[in-house]
Structure 1
Amino acid sequence: MTSNSHGLLQALSSFHSILIVSVLIRVGLIWYSEWHDARSVVKYTDIDYRVFTDAARFVLQPGPGNYAQGPLGKWLSVGDPYTRQTYRYTPLLAVLLTPNHWLHRSFGKYLFAGCDILAGTLMYQLLVSIILPGVASRTRTSKTSEDEPRPVDIKRQAALLSAIHLLNPLVFSISTRGSSESVLSLFVLLTLYCALKGKWTWAAILLGLSTHWKIYPFIYGVACLGVIGSERGVGKGWKGYTASLVNARTVRFGVVSAVTFGLLGVAMYAIWGYPFLYESYIYHVHRRDHRHNFSPYFYLIYLTYPFEGIPQETLPLWRQILRSPLISFLPQMILSLGAGLLFGRRKKDLTFAWFVQTFTFVIFNKVCTSQYFLWYTLFLPLLIPQLSIPPRWAVAYVAVWFGTQALWLAEAYKLEFLGESVFLGLWVRGLVYMAGHSWVLAGVMQGYNG
Structure 2
Amino acid sequence: MLSTSTVVITSFRNVLALSVLIRVGLILYSEWHDARSLVKYTDVDYRVFTDAAQFLLHPGPGSGNRAQGPLGEGYGDPYTRETYRYTPLLALVVSPNDWLHRSFGKYLFAGCDILNGILIYNILLPQQTRSKATLYTALHLLNPMVFSISTRGSSEAVLSSFVLLTLYAALRDRWTWAAVMLGVCVHWKIYPAIYGFACIAALAGGGRQIRMMTLLKARRILWFGVLSVSTFALLTGGCYLVWGDPFVYESYLYHLHRLDHRHNFSPYFYLTYLTYPSPTVGNFTASTSDASISISWLNDILESPLTSFVPQMTLAIGSGLVFGYHLPKTHLPFTWFIQTTLFVVFNKVCTSQYFLWYLLFLPLILPRVTMSTTKAVLCISVWVGVQALWLSEAYRLEFLGVNVFYRLWIRGLVYVVGNCWVLVQLMQGYDYSYVTRKYVESK
TM-score after normalising by structure 1: 0.89
The answer (yes or no) to whether the contact 1:230–1:244 under 8 Å persists in 2 is no
Give the one of 7, 11, 23 matched to 1:10: 7
Cα offset for 1:131? 3.3
Q: Which amino acid aligns with 2:66?
A: Y
The partner residue of 1:186 within 161, 166, 178 is 161
**Structure 2 equivalent of residue 318 of structure 1:** 298
Cα deviation for residue 374 of structure 1 reads 0.4
Q: Where does residue 70 of structure 1 map in the other structure? A: 69
Whether 1:270 and 2:241 are equivalent positions in the alignment is yes
TM superposition shift of 1:304: 0.7
- Tell me, yes or no, if structure 1 residue 327 matches structure 2 residue 307: yes
Q: Say if 2:117 and 2:137, in contact at 8 Å, map to a contact too.
A: yes
The residue number in structure 2 matching 1:143 is none
How far the C-alpha of 1:350 sits from its partner, in A, is 0.7
1:255 and 2:239 correspond = no
Question: Equivalent residue for 1:289?
Answer: 260
Contact between 2:183 and 2:229, CA under 8 Å: does it hold in 1? yes
Q: 2:380 maps to what in 1?
A: 398
Return closer, same or farther for 1:7/1:439 CA change in 2, 3 Å cut-off: same
Distance 2:151 2:111 in 1: 10
Give, in whole Å, the separation in 1 of the partners of 2:241 and 2:14.
46
Compute the displacement of 1:316 (Å). Answer: 1.4
Q: List gaps (5 residues or longer) in structure 2.
A: 280-293, 433-443
In the alignment, which residue of structure 2 is the partner of 1:302? Answer: 273
Give the AA of the match of 2:65. N
> Which among 380, 388, 392 is matched to residue 370 of structure 2?
388
Equivalent positions of 1:10-409 (< 5 A) are 10-64=7-61, 65-74=64-73, 77-128=74-125, 130-132=126-128, 154-230=129-205, 233=208, 240=212, 247-307=218-278, 316-345=296-325, 346-409=328-391
Kept in 1: contact 2:323–2:335 (CA 8 A):
yes
Partner of 1:418 in structure 2? Answer: 400
**Alpha-carbon contact 2:203-2:217 (below 8 Å) kept:** no
Note closer, same or farther for the CA distance 1:20–1:230 as it changes in structure 2 (3 Å cut): same
One-letter amino acid of the counterpart of residue 362, structure 1: V
Counterpart of 2:441 in structure 1 is: none
Structure 1: gaps of 5 or more residues: 133-153, 309-313
What is the rounded CA distance, in whole Å, between the counterparts of 2:245 and 2:397 in structure 1?
37
The structure that is helix-richer by fraction is 1
How has the CA–CA distance of structure 1 residues 293 and 327 changed in structure 2, closer, same or farther, with 3 Å as cutoff? Answer: same
Shift of 1:321: 1.3
State the identity %.
61
Instruction: Tell me if structure 1 keeps the 8 A contact 2:206–2:324.
Output: no
Shift in Å at residue 324 of structure 1? 1.3
Change (3 A) 1:125 1:334: same
1:249 is displaced (CA, Å) by 1.0
Taking a change above 3 Å as real, the CA distance of residues 235 and 121 of structure 1, as seen in their structure-2 partners, is closer
TM-score by length of 2: 0.91
Deviation at 1:11, TM superposition (A): 2.9
Tell me, what secondary structure is at the counterpart of 1:198? coil
CA contact (8 A) 2:59 2:65 kept: yes
In 1: Cα distance, 2:320 partner to 2:249 partner: 28
Equivalenced residue count is 415
CA shift at 1:285, angstroms?
Answer: 0.8
- 1:440 is matched with which residue: 413, 422, 430? 422
Alpha-carbon distance, 1:245 to partner? 11
How far is 1:39 from its partner? 0.5
| Partners of 2:9 and 2:334 in 1: CA distance | 28
Q: Is the 8 A contact 1:97 1:108 kept in 2?
A: yes
The superposition leaves residues 94-128 of structure 1 with CA deviations (integer Å, 9 ceiling, x where unpaired) of 00011001000000000000000000011111111
Contact conserved, 1:68 with 1:272, CA < 8 A, in 2?
yes
- 1:313-343 CA distances to partner (integer Å, 9 max, x unpaired)? x961121111112320011000000100110
User: Does structure 1 conserve the Cα–Cα contact (< 8 Å) formed by 2:9 and 2:138?
Assistant: no
**Which SS does the other structure have where 2:127 is aligned?**
helix
Q: Residue 429 of structure 1 is aligned with which of 399, 408, 411?
A: 411
Say if 1:58 and 1:391 are closer, same or farther in 2 by CA, change over 3 A.
Answer: same
